[in-house]
Amino acid sequence: MFLRALNRSFWVLYDNLFKGLLINIILFALMFIPFFILWNKKLYVPTILTVGALWFMLVPAVIYYFSKIVREEERGGMWSSLWEGFKRFWWRGLVIFASVAAVTALAVIAFYFYRANAKNMFALIAGGVTIWIAFTFLLMQIYMMPIMVLDEKARVFTSFKKALIMVLSVPFSSIFITAVIAYFDILFYPIALWIGGPHVGWIIYLTMFPIFLMPFVSLVFIIILQLNSTILIYEKHNVYPDLKAVWEERDLSNLFRPWEVK
């Protein structure tokens, strides 16, 4: 499932490269401007909350548009689809963001509480359970927004239940996809600096790769990867028709002759 999601996401982005670049540049600008202003003022928590809120408001519209492309249902223009998706889902995205922020705050509080009571066996067990719950909730983020967008009634809280079921049905694939998203979120760059310092070697250049891609394709690739991971599970359970022949039965020759496929 993991490799299929990567493969399909690559071809979806490749077939719609100009649109993906344009959407990525817009997303990057809309989030980078408030990030730059607030971060320079040393308003770190407001920076995180503002950028997070913008992501959860804007991304469902992009998912809505690319879901039409993936399912071969695109009929209108890109701008009209994005605007339609934004009007329908922006507040629902904020609801999901509020839940993520609340769970994150509880996890931080629990971490400090259990660390202060580390000698207590019951606190240690409770801390382990909390870590497991927090990690599972993190994996659920792959599917929550795509499920909300793909749901005919756009039910926010139904997406929580379905996302948990999806994580439990494909746990290893979910972990690998989360690792890829973390990489494209440049999270490996500060981790590499923290572990190895500034002289960590050639690995530091590898971790910097998403930084150079971020204004161009990193953000939109994350979105397409989340969408395809969700749709593949729907296809597995016959909720959607199988689109393997459309997006996956390709080889390197299609990089230079894409017209032979579509």
pLDDT of res. 124: 75
pLDDT of res. 258: 57
Per-residue pLDDT tens digits for 13-53: 999 999 999 999 999 999 999 999 999 998 989 999 999 99
Instruction: Give the start-to-end residue ranges of the domains of the chain.
Output: 2-260
Q: Is the dihedral of CA 146, 176, 103, 23 positive or negative?
A: negative
171 or 113: which leads in pLDDT: 171
For the segment 93-110, the average pLDDT, to the nearest whole number, is 90
pLDDT of res. 193: 78
Give yes or no for residue 261 having a pLDDT over 80: no
**Using 50, 70 and 90 to split pLDDT, how confident is the model at 231?**
very high
DSSP string, 207-235: HHHHHHHIIIIIHHHHHHHHHHHHHHHHH
Which percentage of the chain shows pLDDT scores above 90?
A: 60
For the segment 132-136, the average pLDDT, to the nearest whole number, is 90
CB atoms within 10 A of CB 139: 20
Give yes or no for residue 70 having a pLDDT over 80: yes
For the segment 124-130, the average pLDDT, to the nearest whole number, is 79
* Highest-scoring range by mean pLDDT, 21-30, 184-193, 253-262: 21-30
3-state class (DSSP) for residue 23:
helix
pLDDT of res. 86: 95
